Amino acid sequence: MRFFLDHDVPADVAVVLRTRGYDVVQLREILSPETPDDLVWSHARGDGRIMVSCNRAHFVTLALATETHPGLIVLKRRRTRQAEAAHVLDLLAKADTEGLVNNINFA
C-alpha cells in the first residue's frame, strides 16, 4: 500500500509504516505545508496514495466530493504517538486494501 501523510500527521507514524514495508511519502518531503488541502488531495489521488490526515473537516469533504480515490484515513489524535501509529496499523490489519479504496476510515 502507498500512503501520503499530511503535514499534521506525526513523523513517528511514517517511521512505523515504513518499518512495516509500506511506501510512505510525507507532505513535508515534497510540498510546502501551506499547500491548500484541495491540491494536497489531488496530489495524493494522482499518485495513487491513500491520504492520511488529522484534518477531518477538509479531507472528508474532499473525499465525499470525489467519485473515486485511493482512500482517506483520518487519524484521531491520541495521548501518545505510539497509540496513533498502533491505531493506524490496527485499521490496516482489519480493512486491508479493499476496505480502504474509495472509503473514509478513522484510526
Q: Are 40 and 61 in contact (CB under 8 A)?
A: no
| pLDDT 10s digits, 39-76 | 999 999 999 999 999 999 999 999 999 999 999 999 99
| 40-to-37, 80, 86, 96 alpha-carbon distances in Å | 5, 26, 25, 23
- 54's CB contacts (< 8 A; 6+ apart) are 6, 8, 9, 74, 75, 76, 77
- 34's CB contacts (< 8 A; 6+ apart) are none
- Give pTM, 2 decimals: 0.95
